[in-house]
Amino acid sequence: MKHSLIQYSILLVSIVGLLAFGIPESNQKGTAYKSNYISYLGCSRTDSAFIDKDQFVQLIGLPLCAKDSAMNYCKIISFDLTYAERGLYQDSTGLPIVVTDYSSVTCKGDTIPKNWIASFNERGYKGDTVLIDNILAKSPDQKTRLCRSLKFVLK
């Protein structure tokens, strides 16, 4: 009897531990189906590319879109945007050093926030990189699909 009481106690503690720490909360990214859907910036540019800053600023103001294998448009639900801004600084001895500052935001819907667009327009410079990933789209069968990421390097 004493032996089974210890086993039940250990089992109870294990279950409580799993409930408290081990079971992740469900979210849209966790339920998204990985797919080969293609993402487009401004519904025209896709994949990794070097892009002129002026052209990038024009496209970044337009909504993102995605297409399935049959080239049907799919509505973008959300995405993550990371901006890697390169800057020239001085180290402790006064020598120049290039440092990359990273900023990121999670966007709901298919549009980049206006303050980020203004930031790209104002501070975007050659060598800066913009990564758009974790792009979630709603497929024609109403399932959430994870689309291919986009990466743009300003030239």
Residue type, 116: W
What's residue 114's pLDDT? 93
Indicate the pTM of the whole model: 0.72
Look-up of token digits 């006064």 = 94
What's residue 7's pLDDT? 53
Largest CA distance in the chain: 77
Bridging pattern class, strands 96-108 and 73-90: antiparallel
Low-confidence ranges of the chain (pLDDT < 70): 1-32
Contact indicator for 93, 87 with CB cutoff of 8 Å = no
What's residue 36's pLDDT? 81
What's residue 15's pLDDT? 52
Name the nearest CA neighbour of 39 among 31, 25, 26, 49.
49
